[in-house]
Structure 1
């Protein structure tokens, strides 16, 4: 094959890879394509009849930077650096990326609580966001109480609103409680908008699950009759 044709082919392939990288939205794919394009540039300058060493080294340096960033992206997206316990715990934070979870992990403390312990008091500030591992969690508000099944978060409403706890929360059978300091978590969320959005989405899902578990749909339907559509004629009694 003609040497000039080979070099031109390498240069064109590199250009296509870099253009493709700048057209995609996924950061990992962008880095892979751009790194491949720059590697082609390094090959172009290295395979010339008179290699240009400075250009080869400069492009290899850029390839190395992109490879380092690719490694960081993979670390952010994968759980390969987590142990079995952390992987099991990560399953309870489905809206967070593995990297976000790893950065929050140092804020978490775990403790086994005895039966009957109270975790939150209605009207009092909540200092810790809690993930409770227990078969039964008792919630009491305004004299009325109902149970929810664990694992479940406790204190997320107070955390999101900044208000005191809206209910008393106890563990009739005890359990394991994972606590996260609310002030430290809020500080992390202020510095990282993506983490803020992930936490808000997580607690939105948690609240929806609690509502669905605590108010059966058939009972809710009986408690609130459906209004007739505009212009519809009410049903006439038979007889």
Structure 2
């Protein structure tokens, strides 16, 4: 018994109906692509000559859906992130991979190469940048006291979130790797994507709370009787 191409229409339509009933966009797009391929098979087999106009139109629909499918995959996975970016993404625990990619595009990766170190922020001065210490330890100076802040911390988050002057001077010694974002560009991105902005603020607030609960060891030069007081003060006024 010869195959009846009309069955392809029914199969394609059934898959399309199932696709529209699915809320997960990734699965929806996949089913639409499969359904469209089945329609193309029908347009090729059902008529002589094949229905080329319908085939071409359907092929264009497949191309568009594949492009969107690729965007969805990038939004949900760390595919094509280099090792450093993947390590940085682990620190941005409140962001999705897609949100992180947008922030990563604005990031400037830097290494301190100055003998006296690179000044990231100055106490009681405006800051135009947000920093993340990727490798190494920086020094934090406040009210003539000095502390060390290890990698895995943000610098300038209070100034960024509250839009005020920084509360400490921070210096990245030679060899320290850090990531820098322009504050204005980051705020503009947050305004454009409110969910991203909320996730970023939650991350920075969490980082500040962790600093308040932590104890960073002061330099040996600090008098011992001042250490506990200074640790608390620095955590409460983290840069």
Other-structure match for 1:90: 89
Distance 1:148 1:90, change over 3 A: same
C-alpha contact (below 8 Å) 1:134/1:171 kept by paired residues? no
C-alpha contact (below 8 Å) 1:128/1:181 kept by paired residues? yes
C-alpha contact (below 8 Å) 2:88/2:134 kept by paired residues? no
Partners of 1:147 and 1:191 in 2: CA distance: 36
C-alpha displacement at 1:132, in angstroms?
1.5
Other-structure match for 1:22: 20
CA offset digits 1:174-221 (Å, max 9, x no partner): 732321111122222222334323322322332233233249xxxxxx
Other-structure match for 1:201: 202
TM-score by length of 2: 0.72
Other-structure match for 1:54: 53
Distance 1:180 1:62, change over 3 A: same
Partners of 1:110 and 1:181 in 2: CA distance: 13
C-alpha contact (below 8 Å) 2:112/2:174 kept by paired residues? no
Partners of 1:57 and 1:171 in 2: CA distance: 58
Partners of 1:25 and 1:200 in 2: CA distance: 29
CA offset digits 1:56-114 (Å, max 9, x no partner): 22212211211122123223433332333333333333334444444433541413165
CA offset digits 1:134-174 (Å, max 9, x no partner): 55445555677765432210111111111111334345897
Partners of 1:76 and 1:191 in 2: CA distance: 17
C-alpha contact (below 8 Å) 1:116/1:172 kept by paired residues? yes
Q: Does the alignment pair 1:166 with 2:164?
A: no
| Structure 1 SS opposite 2:110 | strand
Distance 1:91 1:40, change over 3 A: same
Partners of 2:12 and 2:202 in 1: CA distance: 40
Other-structure match for 1:185: 186
Q: Computing the radius of gyration over CA atoms, which structure comes out larger, 1 or 2?
A: 1
Distance 1:156 1:60, change over 3 A: same
TM-score by length of 1: 0.72
Other-structure match for 1:156: 157
Q: Structure 1: any 5+ residue segments left out of the alignment?
A: 216-239
